[in-house]
Amino acid sequence: MKISKLTKNISLKRELENGNEEQLKTVRQVIADVRENGDAAIRKYTEMWDKVVLSDFRVTEEEINEALQNFDPQLKKDLEEAADNIRKYHEAQKREGYTLPLADGSYLAQRIVPLDSVGLYVPGGSAAYPSSVLMNVIPAQVAGVKRIVITSPCGKDGKLPPAVLVCASILGVEEIYKIGGAQAIAALAYGTESIAPVDKITGPGNIFVALAKREVFGQVAIDMIAGPSEICILADDSAYPDEIAADLLSQAEHDMRACAILITTSENLANAVSEQVEEQLKQLPREDIARASIENFGHIYIAETMDQAVDAVNTLAPEHLEIVTENAEEVSKGIRHAGAIFLGRYSSEPVGDYFAGPNHVLPTNSTARFASGLNVDDFIKKTNIIYYSEKTWEENAPKIARLARMEGLEAHARAVESRGWKKGE
């Protein structure tokens, strides 16, 4: 890995997932086609890109049962335990509405209402991510969403990966469609003969999925535009080089554009980690992907002080941040911008990806400066409620009318005055 002294110009070295003109043109054509031709368009693109002809998009009960029958029992238990951990963590995020009493029985309130329906995109392609099923479905269930739909691209055999179907079965999700790409996003947003539209779409995907989500925003809500994965590790000379290298590669193997950065106050650690990364790369099944990530978007920075290193992390605002230092919890108090923080030697990033409980759908491309990871609040909406008694209205009507006229909105003022209050008093 490249090593250099830390400077103020540190960055993730990636632009937002805006795509190129050809990709955007393709996505817009797909969306328009699905809106006009529905299922026929989905079949066309599924055959074109996924190389499979589907007569029915929906996963059958028989396919789910087949996946369950052939699945490793111990792995199923692991997934069930992970699901329990994730559910417990997200249950703590639930909130109730509130009521603010005013005089004379008047009150203001806020009502929490779950969304009616959500579409959860589970990526496929170079790797299957059943953990995305757990991370997207569970907060929606905790929020109280009644209709939860999963879409995911199928393999050339016309089936979804067994682990995806097992996760869906564990969570009780039955509406699952074997379609992916921009066509799946369009179907979720606008509906087809086979698929009813939803109110919100969540979940990561490739550039075509990201662009499609951006295009349909407004017709439906979306969670975020997720880019390739990122990890930043903040470490001192107490860290073990082989462990740090392994953690960097855990994200580099995701995608050729994944970003893996080490910021350390130890030059010895920097050199040792660089050597370890090269050694471990040679042993990875996905070496080509991980190597491209490390060569193009990997870097080791040497900081003069821990304060300088913390400032650099806040500038990066990374998706995943590991702090492997002495007094890691104390060091973390200086971190303002990170999607998720992993403290200490035994909190390796995959602990959060699969099992601990916090959500692994996190803001990328430095958007942790203003965005949060997927959570229960993403699946609710808040309705404001106002109740004024006659007396409270009488006390405040003149003030409201004056404010309306200040803005030049006479009809607003008259709407208040129409309720019996003597004009001009």
Encoding tokens for residue 179? 């379609």
319 is catalytic: yes
Q: Is 353 annotated as a binding residue?
A: yes
Q: Which of 299, 320, 337, 360 is catalytic?
A: 320
416 vs 172: CA distance, rounded Å: 51
Q: Which of 230, 253, 319, 322 is catalytic?
A: 319
By the 10 Å C-beta count (0-12 exposed, 13-18 middle, 19+ buried), 261 is classed as buried
Amino acid in the structure at residue 267:
E
Strands 230-235 and 259-264: parallel
Q: Is 107 annotated as a binding residue?
A: no
Q: Is 407 annotated as a binding residue?
A: yes
121 vs 136: CA distance, rounded Å: 8
99 vs 114: CA distance, rounded Å: 18
Kindly list the distances between the CA atom of residue 110 and the CA atoms of 221, 269, 305, in Å, as whole numbers in the listed order: 21, 52, 47
The answer to whether 180 touches 96, Cβ cutoff 8 Å, is no
Q: Is 276 annotated as a binding residue?
A: no
Q: Is 251 annotated as a binding residue?
A: yes
Strands 221-222 and 107-114: unpaired
Residue 110: name the closest of 124, 123, 96, 125 by CA: 96
Q: Is 90 annotated as a binding residue?
A: no
Q: Is 254 annotated as a binding residue?
A: yes
Contacts with 295 (C-beta within 8 Å, 6 or more apart), sequence order: none
Residue ranges of the binding site for Zn(2+): 251, 254, 353, 412
Active site residues: 319-320
Residue ranges of the binding site for substrate: 229, 251, 254, 320, 353, 407, 412
Residue ranges of the binding site for NAD(+): 121, 183, 206
Residue ranges of the binding site: 121, 183, 206, 229, 251, 254, 320, 353, 407, 412
